[in-house]
Structure 1
Amino acid sequence: MIFVRLPLAQALLATTLLAAPAFAPVAFAQDRNLTIGIGGSPTSLDPHFYNASPNISLTMHLFDRLTEQDAQARIQPALAESWRAVSETMWEFKLRAGVKWHDGRDFTADDVAFTISRAPNVPNSPGGFGGFVRAITRVEVVDPLTIRLHTAAAHPLLPTELASIQIISRHVGEGAGTEDYNAGRAAIGTGPYRLVSYRPGDRTEFARNEAYWRGAEPWSRVSYRFVANDAARTAGILAGDLDVIDQVPSTDIARLKRDSRLTVSEIPSLRLIYLMTDFSRPDSAPVMVSDSEGRPLERNPMLDARVRRALSIAIDRQALADRVMEGTATPTGQWLPPGSYSYNPAVEVPRHDPDGARRLLAEAGFPNGFRLTLATPNDRYPNDSRTAQAVAQMWSRIGVRTQVEALPWTTYASRNSRQEFNARLAGWGSVTGEASYMLVNIFGTYNRERRTGASNNSRYSNPTLDALTARAAGTLDDAEREKLLQEAVAMVDRETAMIPLFQLVNFWATRRGITYEPRMDERTVAMGARPQ
């Protein structure tokens, strides 16, 4: 599998970008409706509530960003038509003129300033967006279409990080909470679609924004449906009830490719599927971990790097890729695909070594192993619960008798945010295409004031790694920054701060007459679907 290295130096450090839409509007002969079936469950219409791909995919229909990344994860202009580094600690963004909110009001720099203040401070967020704006120390509104963002130190990644912040209006958003977005009262954006209705756990209905600044989309109405069951998504597109589906089940890919009524598109993914252990408590949660006889343990075994390494090398990743994922994933020892910026070729896929795992457990004081519960969502990632079951069998063979607790995504996410799991299966898509995204949000020490560790629900903390990440983020030279990030990748591996499993391949299926542009960030949006 070949991945394209992202040209970060060109994308991030250019003084000016052309003022052109990322996607040119296209004239279509007739209006049509589109029905999409997704496998991941969105949990809110609040664009700053939860940094999770299903939520972002959903709200991208309503809200735009200053910058955005295309299907190949390349940075593009959006609400900001150009930007430049005025100095090492100041970025200036020129905003697009004539953009209207869905209620007809003008989009201005004041809306951007309001968004930056709100995005990291949404109450009860299970994983927020603070990491994307952590570098900003001051926001300066120069005029209605010019804004300057000041940072404490050089921060070349800021234009890329802002591609993950959806812009909301001050006049609607001020005083509005997540419940106001979910009720539709505050779900007023500048995006290509307007909200018609939102039914959590079921579907969202959109109507085309005829005044969209890029030009009207071809779909008059979009029905965006959550279809958790793999077989139901396949049946829906075969029956013609769904026009586009994502997370095409691995068991059905070959069959759908043979069907002349359908097209299957695919692209290497930026998403890693991995396991994370708990660092939040010195003792162990008795429901989740106990000794081999079922008695509570005096200490949390996950705090011992030898235990974490034992669990890692007990896993046969190639078997997971071949038998569970059926060739739709690639074993990995890190969180970026080969060829991408800051991928570290020295960090190899951990070798399957069950005997070595048993020795490490004995060295750590667990010669008889222990009992463990592995939590996993059962409706979020391709074959998520099947993967967890396979891992549980591998762990049980080295003496860590493992049972699996498979949960719906909404329940899993809520419990995960409260640090209720000692071991869990998770996924993370590095949408910036480089290592700092995961270093800041997953491995960064949880700190609301510094806006690090926003999704660090296991509460891993390594001050040395934090310092290295900060140093890399402030390094302007691309080559030097890459070396620092690669060093951080190696440190995560040495610590076994996580247990990486495999990198996904993203699949979509569409009905005849519709094309879909596959995205490395796995987001499923009506804007990627076009009538042929």
Structure 2
Amino acid sequence: MHRIAVWLAALMVVTALPLLPAAGLAPTQAAPARIESVVVADASDLETLDGTLRIVTNHRRVYGHIYDALLTRDGATNQIKPRLAERWERVDDRTWIFHLRRNVKFHNGDPFNAEAVKWTLERARDPKVSQASVYAKAFEKVEIINPYAVRVTTTHPDPLMLTRVADLIHIGSPDYHKRVGSPEAGVKPVGTGPYRFVEWVKGSHIKLVANGDYWGGRPAVRNVTIRFVPEATTRVAAVLAGEVDIATELPALLVERLEGSGRSEVTTAVDPLSIGVWLRHEGPMSDLRVRRALNHAVNKDAIVKTIWRGRATPLNGPLFPGSFGYDPGLKPYQYDPALARKLLAEAMYPNGFTIKMDVPIGGVAQGKEVAQAVAGDLAQVGVNVEINLFEWATFLKRIFTPRSEAMNSTFLLYIKSASLDGDGVLSTTFLCDGVYPAGWNWNRYCNREVDKLILQQARTMDPKVREALMQKASQMIRDDATWIFLYTPQQIFGKKKGLPWKARMDGMVFIFDDIK
């Protein structure tokens, strides 16, 4: 019997730092507001409030209140628009100039200027410091032109430059970090954003209050509380009871409870991510026939129909429908357990083998149910799956610890590309040199021909040429059966009836931006 470790994850991943409950900085003035408070129930607690360190969804949902990025996205259209950079210009394919807003201050009074931008972007490049390094490593030089203009030179022609600085890297105060130290800044954050930090009680909640001095105008909501509620049923119950105003990451099977209550509503958006079992290419998984067998063994249509109630779409490869570079003509693996058994027998595994599946709780919508469905299908072709449940933060710590047990594992995971550009999936997870911490290629897939295509598209400014390169790379990744390609789901949120908020395409919950 062969044993392979298999992990279930959402690539909203975090390197863990030990944190304690923290009291915040008192606001200098209260901002008038037309809504006194909004309470958001999210699935997972954070590891740090240092806005440069994490780019995972649950962290960015909080960071976007406390901090600003250079650029941001429109919640309805997903189009990039100004934030701390009021305008920008492309000098050439490798050189960009960002012109910064004047008269902006951090919550503690420190000035926002080009020095803060340079310090933040250079800090984000370091893979030992920031998850954003998978994007920021493209910054070759960051130069100060004057106190309110910076020049960024990239390592190569970069069609994704604006995406890299839109809500992914949040600008911090270098002076504040120098005074208190980065660990302290990670529990008592200071940003330029529309909300000031009040308190963080680990495992319970984060409280924020409107920044009355915000450069972008007064927030419509005075107080924002983010509560951490791992169980989806509990989040739904809290909405129905009027205890919370917005609940994130809900399973499709609970939609009817919300819609039929008369007290709550459901709001949805396409979730820009791909979910699949990442197959580590060692042991049985080193054989292409085995990887293809597992793809044929899992009934993705049934998962979409029964678990997601049709609110998901089966994948035909690594990219999700609607993303730039997606190929609708790519043929998916058909559900065919007889063919799966035949391929396993040809690969000398007629009796299958045993795998372990570690499933994070609170990080993946309906992840436990999906894992059980995958395990049931694999059992039908002789592959025995042992499922272990992990608290989300514990799971992520294992994933982001170099040389940990997780580095020798195969896992089921999703990767998100909030920009709706397929490069957010391809460049981060399929490059030979992208093994963590250089990237998120935890299954250590390597195909040098695929590498060439991915690297070429990431340096090509012509969108039609880029799209063709990405589609060719996707075809090869699909043929290599790198994952068990599963599905892309809808984002499902519950909310208090009448609350003027709806789901965004990028999955964020930004109260200032979305409630006016």
Equivalents in 2 of 1:232, 1:178: separation in Å? 34
Equivalent in the alignment of 1:441: 428
Equivalents in 2 of 1:59, 1:409: separation in Å? 19
Given residue 362 of structure 1, which amino acid in structure 2 is its aligned partner? A
- 1:264 matches 2:266: yes
Equivalent in the alignment of 2:218: 216
SS in 2 for 1:514: coil
Equivalents in 1 of 2:99, 2:500: separation in Å? 33
Q: Deviations over 1:396-449 (max 9, x none)?
A: 11111111112111111122233526332212211121111111212223459x
Quote the offset at 1:307 in angstroms.
1.5
Equivalent in the alignment of 2:34: 30
Given residue 465 of structure 2, which amino acid in structure 1 is its aligned partner? E
Alignment match of 1:393 (pick from 361, 366, 376): 376
Equivalent in the alignment of 1:70: 74
Equivalent in the alignment of 1:365: 348
Retained in 2: the 8 A contact 1:344–1:486? yes
- Normalising by structure 2, report the TM-score: 0.88
SS in 1 for 2:252: coil
Q: Deviations over 1:54-101 (max 9, x none)?
A: 111121111111112222322111111111111122111111122211
Equivalent in the alignment of 2:101: 96
Equivalents in 2 of 1:208, 1:218: separation in Å? 9
- 1:499-510 equivalences under 5 Å are 499-510=484-495
More displaced, 402-411 or 326-335? 326-335
Given residue 54 of structure 1, which amino acid in structure 2 is its aligned partner? N
More displaced, 429-438 or 457-466? 457-466
- 1:299-448 equivalences under 5 Å are 300-417=283-400, 418=404, 420=406, 422-446=409-433
SS in 2 for 1:461: coil
Equivalent in the alignment of 1:461: 446
Alignment match of 2:111 (pick from 97, 106, 113): 106
Equivalents in 1 of 2:271, 2:410: separation in Å? 24
- The structure-2 alpha-carbon separation of the partners of 1:435 and 1:452, relative to structure 1 and needing over 3 Å to count, comes to farther
Equivalents in 2 of 1:472, 1:146: separation in Å? 29
Alignment match of 1:129 (pick from 125, 128, 132): 132
Equivalent in the alignment of 2:498: 513
- 1:81 matches 2:122: no
- The structure-2 alpha-carbon separation of the partners of 1:28 and 1:492, relative to structure 1 and needing over 3 Å to count, comes to farther
Q: Which has the higher contact order (CA 8 A, sep 6+)?
A: 2
Quote the offset at 1:176 in angstroms.
6.7
Retained in 2: the 8 A contact 1:336–1:434? no
Retained in 2: the 8 A contact 1:183–1:198? yes
- Normalising by structure 1, report the TM-score: 0.85
- 1:143 matches 2:143: no
Equivalent in the alignment of 1:12: none
Equivalent in the alignment of 1:490: 475
Equivalent in the alignment of 2:174: 170
Equivalents in 1 of 2:493, 2:274: separation in Å? 18
Quote the offset at 1:157 in angstroms.
1.1
Runs of 5+ unmatched residues, structure 1:
1-26, 283-299
Retained in 2: the 8 A contact 1:34–1:219? yes
SS in 2 for 1:516: coil
| Aligned length in residues | 480
Given residue 305 of structure 2, which amino acid in structure 1 is its aligned partner? D
Q: Deviations over 1:469-494 (max 9, x none)?
A: 12111111111111111111112111
- The structure-2 alpha-carbon separation of the partners of 1:262 and 1:205, relative to structure 1 and needing over 3 Å to count, comes to same
Quote the offset at 1:311 in angstroms.
1.1
Equivalent in the alignment of 2:255: 253
RMSD (Å) for aligned C-alpha atoms: 2.2
Retained in 2: the 8 A contact 1:273–1:428? yes
Alignment match of 1:179 (pick from 183, 204, 222): 183
- The structure-2 alpha-carbon separation of the partners of 1:116 and 1:57, relative to structure 1 and needing over 3 Å to count, comes to same
SS in 2 for 1:373: strand
Equivalents in 1 of 2:484, 2:458: separation in Å? 24
Retained in 2: the 8 A contact 1:37–1:242? yes
Alignment match of 1:161 (pick from 164, 185, 189): 164
SS in 1 for 2:500: strand
Runs of 5+ unmatched residues, structure 2:
1-30
Given residue 143 of structure 1, which amino acid in structure 2 is its aligned partner? N
Retained in 2: the 8 A contact 1:336–1:433? no
Q: Deviations over 1:341-367 (max 9, x none)?
A: 211123233210111111221222212
